[in-house]
Chains A and B, each alone.
Chain A
Amino acid sequence: MRILTYCDVEDGGITHRLGTPEYSYYFVLASFHDALGMFADVQRIALPSDADAIWRECVERNEECVLLSFAPPNKTTLGLQCPTIPVFAWEYPNLPLASDEESWLDDPRHDWGMVLLKCKAAITLSTHTVQAVRNSLGGAYPIEAIPTPLWGKFAAQRQRGVLPPDRSGADICLKTCLVDSTLLGLSADTLVTDHPDDGTTVDAERDALMPLLPAADPDSWLAALNDLPAHAKVVDMGSRVGSPPIDAGWDVPPLFDVRTRLSGVVYTAVLTPSDGRKNWEDIITAFGWAFRNVADATLVLKLGGPDRLKHHHQMLMLLSKLSPMKCRIVAMHGYLDEADYGQLIGASTYYVNASLCEGLCMPLMEFLCCGVPAIAPNHTAMADYVSRDFAFLVDSAPNLPTVWPHGDHQVYKTSRHQIDWHSLMLAYRQSYLVAKTDTAAYVTMSEKAMTAMQDYCSTGRVAMQLQQFLEAQLRKIRARMDRVNEMALVS
C-alpha cells in the first residue's frame, strides 16, 4: 500500500509558522509518518496535484494508493483521481456550512459535510469530532478517531523513571525569552484604569478615630501541610551555564540561555494566547488566586504565536490586578528546541489545561506521556484520554455560544464549553496538597498517566487503527471502481 501525505507547510518552513493553524497539522503529519510506515510505503508530496500521477503508476502495477490530506475540509483538494482522505482536528459539536458566513460563499468547500461526503471517508483525532460528523452525516459515515501517536517520541525522557512531585532540586537552562514575575515589581496600586474615583473623602482628623486593624488572615487551606519531601534531580541541562532571568518591564526580554530554578510545585501550560479557546486568563488568575500566600508554587507559561508584546502586556495587567502574591509566574515566549522542551517537561509537577474546547491538545498528551499528571477538564477531545486516575478534573458545561474560529466572527454558529473557574482554582490547591503531602499518590498518578497514554497513543496501537481503517476504506473504493468499470463494459 502506498500512502501519500500532504500538509500545507513545507518541511523547512515550520519555524516561521509557529502558532498558526497550519502548524498543528504539520506536527500531526510528522507524528503519523512513523505509524503509517509500519504497514505502508509513505511518501510526502509537495502539492496535492502531485498525487494523481503517482496514483496512476500505482494502479498500473496494481498497488493500492491513497492520499491523506492533513488539512481542514475547507482546505482539502477535491476532484483528484487519487482517493483522498482528509485528516483533520475539530473541537466544535457541529460542522460549518458554506452559508454560515458571507466570506465563505465563494468556496463550496466551507460546507464541510459536502467535502466529507465527496471524500467518502475521513480521519479525525477525537471521538468528539466523530460524533459531530455523524450528527451531520448520519451514523454510517466512515470516520475514525485516531490520536496523534506521541507516546514513542518520549521514550528517552521516560528513562529517568517516575519522579517525585517536588521539582526544586535542579536548575533549568533554556534558550528563551523569559519573563519572571518576581522581577516585575508588581503592585495593584500602580494600576491605571478608566474606573472613576467614587468621591470617598479623606479627613485625617476623623479618619484617625477609626481603630487600626491587622491585615486579614491568609487562607487557612494550607493547614494540612507537612514537611517537604526530598528533592530529586529531574532535568538534564547538559554543560550549559546560562545567565539568570532579567527584569522585563514593558518589554519582553531578549533571547538568551536563561538559567533559573523552578521552585516547589511547578505547573506548566503550553499554549498560544491569541487562540481564545486556550483560556489562558483563567489559567493565570486561578493560579494567582489559589497561591497568593504560597511561595513555592510556580506557573510556567510556554507561549507561542503572534502578538507577543500585546500578550506580555495583557499578562502584566492580570498579574498586577492579582498582586501582591507570593507565588511565581514564569512566561517563556517563543519556540523551545526539543532538548529544552524536555527540560521543561522534566521540571514540571503538573500540566494545566483550561481550554474551552480541544481538537486533541498535543502538549497535554506529551506531558502525560512523560508521567506528568494534569489539571484539565474532560470535555471534547480530552474525554478520550483525561481520567480522574491521573488528572484533577476541572468542571465545565457545554453550550456556551460562540463564533466559528475561521469565519467572520459576527454571529454565533456553534458552541464551546464554559470552564468553572472556581473548580480550576480548587484543583490547583488540591494538586498542590497532593504534591506536598502524598508522594505515593502522586507517583501512582504519574504511573497511571503513562500506562493510559501508552494504550491510547503508542505508535503500534495507532498503526493498527490506521491500517484497519485504511484497508477497509480502500476495499470499498476498489469495489466501487470495479462496479464502475463493469458498468462501463456493459454499456
Chain B
Amino acid sequence: MIILVHTAFHGENVAANLGQPEYSYYFVLREFRPILEKLGIVIEITDPKREVDVIYRNCVSQGVPCIFLSFMPPNKAPIGLACPTVPVFAWEYGHLPDEGFSGKPRNDWRRVLAQLGAAITHSSFTVETVRQALNDTFPIIAAPAPLWDRLTATKHPAAPPGMRSLRLRVDGMVIDSRITDLSEYSKARELACEPEPLPLPPERREGVSELELDGIIYTAVFNPGDGRKNWVDMISAFCVAFAHNADATLLLKLSHHDISEVVPKMLECMYKGGNFVCRILIVHGYLRQDDYERMVDATTYAVNTSHGEGQCLPLMEYMSGGKPAISPRHTAMLDYIDDTCAFVVDSFLEPGTWPHDMRQAFRTLREHVQVDSLIRAYRASYYVARHEPETYQAMAKAAVESLRAYCSYAVVGPRLAEFLQAVISRDQQQARSLSKL
C-alpha cells in the first residue's frame, strides 16, 4: 500500500510557526509515521494538487493500492482529487463547523467531509460529534497519535514522588517565581505600559543553564498562544492551593516561538496570586532528548486545565510515562482520564467559538474547569504524593494502562489498518464499477 501524507509544516519550518493554526499537525504526523510505515510505503507530499493524483494514477496502473492522508483541518483538506483523500484532523468542540462563514464554502466541514466520504480523528467525542452533524454511519474512526510505545520504551523506573532532586540542562529561558520581583507585573504597571507588553524580568536566565527540581512537581507543557489552554486558572488555583507549601512546584514548559507578550501576563497572574511560598517555573527553550526525559521523570503530576482537547499530546506522553494527571474529563480526555489515573477536575459548559472563525461568533460550547475543584485536586494530589505512596504508585500504573488502551500500536494499529483498507476497497469497487461502464 502507498500512503501519501501531507501537512502544512515540516521539520525545518515548524519551529518558526509554532503559533500558527496548524502547527500541531506536524507533531501528530510525526507520531503517526512509524505506524503508517508498518502498514505501507509512506510518501510525504509537499504540493497535494500537483503530486497526489500523479502518484495515484501510477499506482492504479500498477495495481498498487494508494491512499492520501491529509493531516489538516477539513477546511484545508484538498477536495476533488481522484485519489481517495482522508483528512486526519483534531477537533475539541461539541458542534462541528456547519456554516460556510466568511464566504468560504469549505468552512462548512459537513460538506467537505460528505464530499471526501471518510475521515480520521483522535477521540470518541469527535467521532460522535461528526456523526451527529452528518449521519450515524459516516465512516470515521478515532485514531489517537500512537505514542504510548515510544514513552514506555524509554521509561525509567519511577522513584517515589517527593524524594527526588533532579538537575535539568536547559538551553533557553528560565523564569523562577522565587527570584523574580513579581511586583513589577502589577495590573497598574501593565496598564501604564500599554500598548507595549511589560518587559521580561531581568532575573530570568537565558542560554544554557541548570535547573534544579525537587519536591512535588506539577508539569504542564503547552503553547501559551493557544487560547484553549486556560493557563490563567491553572496558575491562579495553584497559588491559592499551595500558598503555604514551599515544596510544591508548577513547571510550565512553553512551546511557542514568541513569548514576549504572554509571559508578562503569566507573571501578572502570579503577582495577583498574592504571597505564595510555592514555586512557579516558566521554561521556554530547547531540551535535549535526555533532558526532556529527565523532566518527565522529575514530574510528579501532569496538569491540564484546557477548554477542550483534540487529544493533548503532552498529557498523553506524561501519562504513558507513568505520571498521574490533574485534568478535567471532557472532550478527548473522556477516552483516557478517570479517577483511577487522575484527580478529575469538574468542568461546565460555556459559550465558545470555532477557533478559525474570524467573526468569533458563538457557535459552539466549550468546557471551563471549576476553579474550586481544581484547587481541591491540587491539594488532594499533593497529599497523595506526600503521604500515600501506594495510592500514587497505583495511579501511575493505571495511567500507563489507560494510555495503553488509548494510544498504543497494538490498539491503534489494527483499527487504522482496517479503516484504510475499507476506504481503499471502496475506491477499488468504485473504479471497477466505473470501468464496466
Please give the residue numbers on chain A whose beta carbons come within 8 Å of chain B beta carbons, in ascending order.
Answer: 188-189, 191, 193, 195-202, 205-207, 209-213, 215-216, 285, 288-289, 320-323, 395, 397-401, 403, 408-413, 418, 420-423, 425
Contact = CB atoms under 8 A, between A and B. Distances in A.
B339 interface: no
A400 B362 contact: no
Q: Which 5 A-B pairs have the closest CB atoms?
A: A188-B361, A422-B349, A210-B111, A421-B350, A397-B372
A404 to B, nearest CB: 12
Given A189-B101, A420-B370, 14 more contacts: A193-B359, A198-B356, A205-B80, A210-B108, A289-B365, A321-B351, A398-B372, A399-B371, A399-B372, A411-B274, A412-B240, A422-B350, A423-B348, A425-B349
A421 B370 contact: no
Interface string B357-394: 11111100100101111010000000000000000000
A397 B107 CA distance: 37
Contact of A209 (B79, B349, B359, B362): B79
A399 B239 CA distance: 12
Contact of A410 (B102, B239, B271): B271
Given A211-B114, A421-B349, A195 B76 contact: no
Contacts of A209: 79-80, 115
A212 B239 CA distance: 51
Contacts of B372: 397-400, 418
Contacts of A191: 359-361
Interface string B189-233: 000000000000000000000000000000000000000000000
A285 B360 CA distance: 14
Contacts of A205: 80
A146 to B, nearest CB: 30
Contacts, number: 139
Contacts of A421: 348-351, 368
B92 to A, nearest CB: 16
Nearest to A323: B361
Given A289-B362, A401-B236, A213 B106 contact: no
B21 interface: yes
Nearest to A423: B348
A202 B79 contact: no
Interface centre among A198, A288, A400 (most CB of B within 10 A): A198
A409 B187 contact: yes
B216 to A, nearest CB: 21
B373 A410 contact: no
Given A209-B79, A289-B362, A401-B240, A200 B348 contact: no
Contact of A193 (B103, B107, B111, B360): B360
Interface string B260-275: 0000000000011110
B370 A397 contact: yes
Contacts of A412: 236, 239-240, 272-274
Nearest to A211: B114
B38 interface: no
Contact of A285 (B188, B236, B271, B351): B351
A213 B108 contact: yes
Contact of A206 (B80, B101, B239): B80
B111 A211 contact: yes
A80 B371 CA distance: 44
Given A412-B273, A422-B350, A423-B348, A196 B106 contact: no
A323 B76 CA distance: 26
Contact of A200 (B104, B114, B186, B346): B104
A422 B111 contact: no
A324 B24 CA distance: 33
B76 A200 contact: yes
B78 to A, nearest CB: 8
A399 B360 contact: no
Nearest to A282: B350
Contact of B274 (A289, A322, A413, A420): A413
Contacts of A200: 75-76, 102, 104, 106-107, 356
Contact of B111 (A195, A201, A213, A418): A213
Given A209-B79, A395-B348, A197 B358 contact: yes
A430 to B, nearest CB: 16
A33 to B, nearest CB: 40
Interface residues of B, number: 51
Contacts of B271: 410-411
Interface in B223-264: 236-237, 239-240
Nearest to B74: A200
Contacts of A198: 21, 75, 356, 358
Contacts of B110: 213
Contact of A201 (B101, B106, B357): B106
B98 interface: yes
B48 to A, nearest CB: 12
B112 interface: yes
29 contacts: A189-B101, A189-B359, A191-B361, A195-B357, A202-B103, A206-B79, A209-B79, A209-B80, A211-B115, A216-B98, A216-B133, A285-B362, A289-B351, A289-B362, A323-B361, A400-B371, A400-B372, A401-B371, A403-B272, A408-B188, A409-B187, A410-B187, A411-B273, A412-B239, A412-B272, A412-B274, A413-B274, A421-B348, A422-B348
Interface centre among B21, B346, B371 (most CB of A within 10 A): B371
Contacts of B40: none
B58 to A, nearest CB: 23
A202 B102 CA distance: 10
A418 B370 CA distance: 7
B10 to A, nearest CB: 17
Nearest to B100: A207
B99 to A, nearest CB: 8
B105 interface: yes
Contacts of B236: 401, 412
Given A193-B358, A200-B75, A212 B111 contact: yes
B372 to A, nearest CB: 4
A223 B119 CA distance: 33
Interface in B15-71: 21
A206 B108 CA distance: 14
A193 B227 CA distance: 15
Contacts of A195: 357-360
Contacts of B273: 401, 411-412
A410 B186 contact: yes
Contact of B362 (A193, A207, A211, A322): A322
Interface string B85-129: 000000000000010011111111011101100000000000000
Nearest to A100: B274
Contacts of B76: 199-200
B114 A207 contact: no
Nearest to B78: A206
A210 B359 contact: no
Contacts of B373: 397
A2 B274 CA distance: 46
Nearest to B240: A401
Contacts of A285: 350-351, 362
Contacts of B358: 193, 195-198
A369 B120 CA distance: 57
Contacts of A212: 111
A399 B359 CA distance: 33
A198 B371 CA distance: 32
